[in-house]
Amino acid sequence: MSARPRNDHHCAAGSRRHVTSLLLIATALVGLAASAVGALVTQRLRIQLVSVLTIAACSGGLAVAIEVLRSGRSVVVHTHLLLPLVGFSLDLDRFGALFVAVSAGVAICAMVFRLGYHGHGLSSRTASCVLPLFVTTLLLVPAASSVTTFLFLWELMAIASLLLVLADHRHRSEVAVAAVWYAVMTQAGAAALLVGLVLLSTHAGSQSFSAIADHSAHLPAWVRSTVFVLAVIGFGSKAGMVPLHVWLPRAHPEAPGPVSALMSAAMVNLGVYGIVRLGDGLLGGGPTWWWLMVMALGALSALYGSLHSATSTDLKRLLAYSTTDNVGLMLLGVGASGLFASTGHPALALAALAAALLHMVFHAVFKGSLFLSAGSLQQATGIRDLDRLGGLLGRMPVTGTLFMVGALTIAALPPLCGFVSEWLLLQAMLHGLPSLDPSLAIALPLGVGVLALTGGLTALTFVKAVGIGLLGRARSEPVALAGEVPRSMWIGAGIPAALCLVFGVAPLLVIPAVVEAARTVTASRLPNPFVGGWQVGLSGIHGVLAPGLLAAALTVAVTLVAGIRRALQRSALRSTEAWGCGRELQTARMEYTATSFGEPLSRVFEDVLSPSHDLDISHVAESRYYVEAATFHTSLEDAFERHGFRPAAAALAWWGGLARRVPNGSVHRYLAFGLIALVVVLVVLG
Amino acid sequence: MTAQWPAVSVVAISLLQVMTVALGGPLLVGLMRKVRCRLEGRVGPPIHQPLLDLRKLARRERTRPDQAGWVFSAAPVVLVATTLVVAVTAPLLATDPAFANSTDLFAVVYLLLVGSVAIALAALDTGTSFGGMGASRAMTIGALSEPALLVALLALSVPAHSSNVPIIIARSLAHPAWLATPQRLLALVAFLIVIVAESGRLPVDNPSTHLELTMIHEAMVLEYAGADLALVKLGEGMRLAVLLGLFADLFIPWGIATAPGAGHLALGLVATGAKVAVLGAALAAFEVSVAKLRLFRVPELVAGAFVLAVLAVISALVVA
């Protein structure tokens, strides 16, 4: 194995690069060691050892990524020990390092959380072996610098995550169904990627990313466009982009808590990574229609995801749809960036891409905290259905507060970090507006409209998740008896929740790194457009945001108002029974449920969501005027699944059934087939 | 721009704005009630009645439903505090209060959203069907009206190349012709619908009813008593005043103090007060003439505002 720095004449820098290269190799090796330990050690020691080793690997990855982001010197590793003939090559630049840092951060939190997590499936030998492997691939995929290395790691990541989704299959039958959906979608995506990347590397004459980037400008337009469309399909299916998102609301809820956090906060990012790396990096940008397509898909994902998460009643399904929504917002930013670049506005392109990447980082932070604390809620109650939760903030104050912080962040409320990235996305799109280019003039206002509408729907969604899930009365017995989870789960979910606040007050801790990452793939010669200091802003735009000041003002105002209320108070706060129209002793049956909370919205968007209702009333035999029993069932299926994928699967099954009639076991028939084939071949060749 | 204003005047302006909004909000509610009563042929309570009500409520005992927790108690404080922050930073009397450089229209929208979310969560915390009903309805309407507001504001910030309120005001004053462009008019209508929806006035919600099936906002705050109820009522009045003040800023900006000095500030106070009072009275007069919409027609109204706002942005681009 050789770790070779690119230019050796800089001695100090060279030795430092040696160190980082070695650290990257060590990261991978420790990850693999954790995987081996998971497979070999007895169950008692397994959880602790695997978690500690994986955390060590992630810390190494985080250190390498931060060093690359800080210095801008990429880390190169090349070895022929793996992947015979072509070799295994890694080249981690700033853009990749941003994703490595995010994955490593999420994985550290998930592994700390895992120490307290009781999922039976996740403690099995297979899952303990695969979990570190999955984390390691998450760290290495953004570093891959050749087509084979990339596809190898990508496929390893897909299979590892599939096995982890399957972890609980012995306990619940839905897991297998979800895993089949995931397997099909991820393999179809991988096939599209394989074809696209092979086409690209044959035409470019090399499979190393840097050589492809040098040649790609000379490739014929149809090759470039085909590769890009295939990549959007392949990466989009991993990112959970509509209409390829159908696996996400199935697989994420069924996966164990730490795994769904890893998938939702780290793995889907790599889909966005792929689209940017290929579109902006390897192909060096493209025609307007590419980016309009990305924007349209992003807008569709954002709207569709937020609508479905607003009407979901399963807590983790709601979070999964909200991941689709947020990926849509990132793609909206990525598409806008490409659009700006292709219409000659490189500064705006940089700003939009940086805003999208910032949203990616912050999404990982808040979604990590949400999925992990949702895992705690599920472990404490055994329930994911919001209609049966409730009253948990009092019973699980720490976990409840952590979930609430994540929820308020995703709703983009100041002074939390979701607000900053949403604000920047809006600003980046807004300031492309005064332009005569017709594609910009139509696409950007619609993009802003989508952004605003998703913002409103997200606020509704998470008021529902917190209000129905954590506040009010307990709606079922396991919830009424629930107690707090182990402390390591608090820490695991608490780190990202704390970061929501820290990054919200001081976003400049991350913004410079994000901008530098964006500059490695687009507009590298332009100066940094971000206004520094304690304010966030873009140069050329009047109007900045001072999140620290906003937070301080809010703190002062809250203290002031609370102080005045306290001063006015003459007697202690009295506890009373809530008013129930004169009826005494209210029960949880009278509370609003998540279904009823989302009902007005599903009525407003009836055409899009097409909810199905099923009311069954049976009457008493003696008289039709008396009802004996009434059952009401309402369900909201995914329209793409019902009208797109199910018919397609049915058509495939039908075709398979037809084909099965041909080989009926008769030897004579097979001989006849052989003869016919021979004749056809002779005719064709002749 | 900040550099030309002495620090003392900036602080003074902010304090004056907070006091104006805190006192003016309840007075505005009283004024609207009075106008309504007069138009309906009744005498009505005096205009300062809401202030008297607040004083009375502030001394009463606070209660909390047995199921509710700290979220219920914190919400009224958050509602008033976020509105106060808006009142400090938004240019209502003069174009340069404290932090004017960071007064972003979008920040204002999201700050107001914090208050709405707090009240909706508190309503769900009571664990009653009324609370849930109110929260569900308010959030559904909010989910559509908030984007309409954002996009309408965006249409206004396109010609100014900025979403900073003082800059938009300064540019509108410099080019009065802007105020009559199609995108302004479209945005104006959208903004008005949003103000009606956000502040829970007719035809979206009837603030004076406690009829169970039609309540939206009142259903959410049913359980509050004493100082908490006073805060909720104060917060509502302040929000209405702030929204109308912003409306005045963006569509009829004349009179706002653009230079430091007591004279300018007094003029700004009178001008903004008069504009907001006239707008409030017009809103009340409009309320008398309409009936409340069926609940499921309300989203259509608000979605209409959203479409108008998107059209405003598109036409802003075509004109630009």
Shortest CA gap B185–chain A (Å): 17
Please, which pLDDT band fits residue A351 given cuts at 50, 70 and 90?
A: confident
∠ Cα A167 A173 A177 (to 5°) = 80
Shortest CA gap B40–chain A (Å): 30
Among the residue ranges A227-241, A534-548, B136-150, the one predicted with the least confidence is A534-548
pLDDT value of position A531: 62
Among the residue ranges A134-143, A607-616, B68-77, B145-154, the one predicted with the least confidence is A607-616
A interface mutation test: which of B66, B71, B137 has the most A CBs within 10 A? B71
Q: Using an 8 Å Cβ cutoff, are A393 and A404 in contact?
A: yes
Mean pLDDT of B292-318: 85
Mean pLDDT of A13-41: 87
Rounded to a whole number of angstroms, the CA Rg of chain A reads 27
Picking from A373, A328, A601, the residue whose alpha carbon sits closest to that of residue A466 is A373
Q: Using an 8 Å Cβ cutoff, are A315 and A379 in contact?
A: no
Kindly tell me if the per-residue pLDDT of A583 is higher than 80: no
Please, which pLDDT band fits residue A123 given cuts at 50, 70 and 90?
A: confident
pLDDT value of position B66: 86
User: What residues contact residue B116 under an 8 Å CB cut-off, 6+ apart?
Assistant: A459, B138, B139, B142, B198
CB of A423 within 8 Å of any CB in chain B?
Answer: yes
Interface of B with A in 124-163 (CB under 8 A): 124-133, 135-137, 139-140, 142-148, 150-151, 154, 157-159, 161-163
Mean pLDDT of B204-224: 80
CB of B67 within 8 Å of any CB in chain A?
Answer: yes
3-state secondary structure B19-64: HHHHHHHHHHHHHHHHHHHHHCCCCCCCCCHHHHHHHHHHHCCCEE
| Cβ-nearest to B121 among A431, A449, A467 | A467
Cβ within 8 Å, pair B135-A575: no
* Phi, psi at B228, each rounded to 5°: -65, -45
| Cβ-nearest to B133 among A472, A571, A592 | A592
Number of residue pairs across A and B with CB atoms under 8 Å? 272
Among the residue ranges A6-10, A381-385, A388-392, A446-450, the one predicted with the least confidence is A6-10
A interface mutation test: which of B59, B67, B88, B318 has the most A CBs within 10 A? B67
Got the DSSP string for B69-88? -HHHHHHHHHHHHHHHHHHH
Please, which pLDDT band fits residue B12 given cuts at 50, 70 and 90?
A: confident
CB of A455 within 8 Å of any CB in chain B?
Answer: yes
Under the phi-then-psi rule, with left for phi > 0, alpha for psi from -120 to 50, and beta for the rest, what region is B161? left
Among the residue ranges A269-278, A295-304, A320-329, B62-71, the one predicted with the least confidence is B62-71
* Phi, psi at A545, each rounded to 5°: -120, 135
Nearest chain A residue to B149, by CA: A452
Nearest chain A residue to B114, by CA: A413
Cβ within 8 Å, pair A468-B114: no
Q: Which residues of A touch B123 (CB under 8 A)?
A: 467
Cβ within 8 Å, pair B132-A597: yes
pLDDT value of position B4: 58
Cβ within 8 Å, pair B231-A565: yes
Q: Using an 8 Å Cβ cutoff, are B82 and B115 in contact?
A: yes
Burial of A430 (0-12, 13-18, 19+ CB in 10 A): buried
∠ Cα A495 A378 A405 (to 5°) = 35
Q: What is the dihedral of CA B285, B291, B294, B297, to 10 degrees?
A: -50
Kindly tell me if the per-residue pLDDT of A527 is higher than 80: no
Q: Using an 8 Å Cβ cutoff, are A609 and A639 in contact?
A: yes
Among the residue ranges A2-16, B48-62, B70-84, B275-289, the one predicted with the least confidence is A2-16
Mean pLDDT of A388-401: 93
Q: Which residues of B touch A467 (CB under 8 A)?
A: 120-121, 123-125, 132, 135
Please state the separation of Cα B67 from the chain's center in Å.
Answer: 31
Strands B63-65 and A574-576: parallel
| Cβ-nearest to A550 among B77, B107, B317 | B107
pLDDT value of position B3: 43
Looking at every residue in chain B, the average pLDDT score rounds to 87
Kindly tell me if the per-residue pLDDT of A586 is higher than 80: no
Ranked by mean pLDDT, which of A328-332, A573-577, B99-103 comes out on top?
Answer: A328-332
pLDDT value of position A439: 75
Q: Which residues of A touch B63 (CB under 8 A)?
A: 573-576
pLDDT value of position B198: 85
Among the residue ranges A251-260, A593-602, A625-634, B189-198, the one predicted with the least confidence is A625-634
Q: At what angle do helices B298-319 and A438-469 cross, to 10 degrees?
A: 150
Q: Which residues of B touch A600 (CB under 8 A)?
A: 136-137, 140, 295-296, 299
> What is the ipTM score, two decimals?
0.94
| Cβ-nearest to A580 among B128, B136, B228 | B128
Q: Is the dihedral of CA B191, B194, B198, B201 positive or negative?
A: positive
| More confident site: A582 or A400 | A400
- Using the 8-state DSSP alphabet, how is residue A246 labeled? T
Please state the separation of Cα A603 from the chain's center in Å.
Answer: 28
CB of A114 within 8 Å of any CB in chain B?
Answer: no
Question: pLDDT tens digit string along A418-438?
Answer: 999 998 898 888 776 556 577
Shortest CA gap B233–chain A (Å): 14
Q: Is the dihedral of CA A149, A155, A158, A160 positive or negative?
A: negative
Nearest chain A residue to B109, by CA: A413
Q: A146 has which bridge partners?
A: A208
CB of A398 within 8 Å of any CB in chain B?
Answer: no
Picking from B92, B27, B28, B26, the residue whose alpha carbon sits closest to that of residue B281 is B28
Query: Containing H/E element for A444?
Result: helix A438-469
Picking from A422, A55, A496, the residue whose alpha carbon sits closest to that of residue A265 is A496
Kindly tell me if the per-residue pLDDT of A2 is higher than 50: no
Mean pLDDT of B2-29: 83
pLDDT value of position B160: 77
Looking at every residue in chain A, the average pLDDT score rounds to 89
Tokens 């690119």 sit on residue: A6
What are the distances in angstroms from CA A576 to CA A387, B54, B63, B69?
25, 22, 6, 12
Mean pLDDT of A454-473: 94
Among the residue ranges A7-16, A26-35, A346-355, A384-393, the one predicted with the least confidence is A7-16
Q: Using an 8 Å Cβ cutoff, are A94 and A69 in contact?
A: yes
Picking from A323, A603, A587, A606, the residue whose alpha carbon sits closest to that of residue A458 is A323
CB of A415 within 8 Å of any CB in chain B?
Answer: no
| More confident site: A122 or B27 | B27
Percent of chain A with pLDDT over 90: 59
Please, which pLDDT band fits residue B239 given cuts at 50, 70 and 90?
A: very high
- Using the 8-state DSSP alphabet, how is residue A6 labeled? S
Question: pLDDT tens digit string along B111-129?
Answer: 999 999 999 999 999 988 8
User: What residues contact residue A634 under an 8 Å CB cut-off, 6+ apart?
Assistant: A595, A611, A612, A613, A614
Picking from B243, B83, B103, B154, the residue whose alpha carbon sits closest to that of residue A425 is B154
Please, which pLDDT band fits residue B101 given cuts at 50, 70 and 90?
A: low
∠ Cα B109 B112 B115 (to 5°) = 155
CB of A601 within 8 Å of any CB in chain B?
Answer: yes
Query: Containing H/E element for A41?
Result: none
Nearest chain A residue to B127, by CA: A472
Please, which pLDDT band fits residue A618 given cuts at 50, 70 and 90?
A: confident
